[in-house]
Structure 1
Amino acid sequence: MATLLHLKIRRELEEKIQRGDLPPGARLPTEAELQSQYGVSRATAQRALNELANAGLVVRRRRHGTFVADVRQQINLLNFAAPGAAEKGVPGRHQVVSQRIVRAGDAVVEIPGVDPDAAVVELVRVKLDLQERPRTLERHAILFSVAPNLLDEDLADFVSLRYFAAKKIPLGPLRVYLEPVVLGAREAELLESEAGVPAMQRRRETRTEDGTVIEAVVTVVRPGSAQFFVELPPPAL
């Protein structure tokens, strides 16, 4: 029940931000105010606000409150790199661009160590923000042998780590790379940007317990749409 309540609070606040009822800079209700309004615990209210902050929709300032973020999404690099963040998801919807079964050698994403003739499931999606603007471009390549029925899934809501867990596929350590890239023509078109512009890219490799890479996911953030940061504790003096 607590999980459902925190989602209810988060979604209602998202809708107010989307409609402009809460414009950039507007202050959101405090945890105490949300507790009183929804009849929830402080932990539930805190979780709703923290998830909005992790999604870049709001900024939380200690002892000052929670405020709607400016146009640029605030992205904590530590959260961006953490595979668990993909399981939680961020506000907005996915738009499926293409899905197909192809040779690994022809896929839009390379899976390290895989035979070029091996079959892979390729999925390309654009994540839209609450204003229906492109947020990120996501390209998946997953070994067909571990996901033969993947194309029967609801690909707009597909989360690969959740899928692997449901299929009881034992995973080993995941590896994530963060690197700057330059947008190609097709990437720029899908992100409504310009070719040749620098962008931030995250590449995740999903491995089984024996070290076999079964998935590679590349996510490119639309240039100019986000501000990356790392939040550190106060220094011990």
Structure 2
Amino acid sequence: VSDASHELRTPLTSIHGFIEILMRGAAEKPEQKEKALQSMYAESARANKLIEDLLFLAKIDRVPSFEMKKGALGDVILEMEAQLKLLARNRKLEFFVDQKIEAVFDKDKMKQVILNLFYNAVQHTDEDTGVITVSLQKDGGIMLMIADNGTGIAPEHVPHLFDRFYRAETSRSRQSGGAGLGLAITKTIIDSHNGTIEVKSEQGKGSVFIIRLPG
């Protein structure tokens, strides 16, 4: 609760400040008004995303509700290709997906996992030289991997990456609107699928998130 309060206080304080500026006359100056409104919109979106993530975690903690069905996980990943390319922008995107692989999973929740990990890769790779790889292979069970050639993660941060509200790079996360819940949500979803998730990373060379699901 303390962490959540701290994270919510920042955007709400910012919104309150901009409202004060508008009330003091900035609303009459088009340039200042536009800047204030854009900032308020961004901060309110950040607060809304945090509230949605908190509600999602609270719901899963209390009564996990998953629609588990057998299906082709590879098809789900390839369905997302256009969306992932849009997020990647100029980054190179590679797919190594075995479409024959079937698993028992919640389609919407697994899409959320892939988006969370992919967005994390985008945030830590250069827009022009970045390479992000999505692979799905059989390895005893089922192995889903999302790898990048980005900044990597310092060894001391790796054990805490899936902790709620943990951020390895506070300033960068704040600028991008992150509250340290994306990876925690990802792990919660994978745990509910009786799977595991781990990360291997080397600073300056990149990271790979490895998910293993029952095959």
Q: Same fold (TM over 0.5)?
A: no
TM-score (normalizing by structure 1):
0.24
TM-score (normalizing by structure 2):
0.26
Structure having the higher strand fraction is: 1
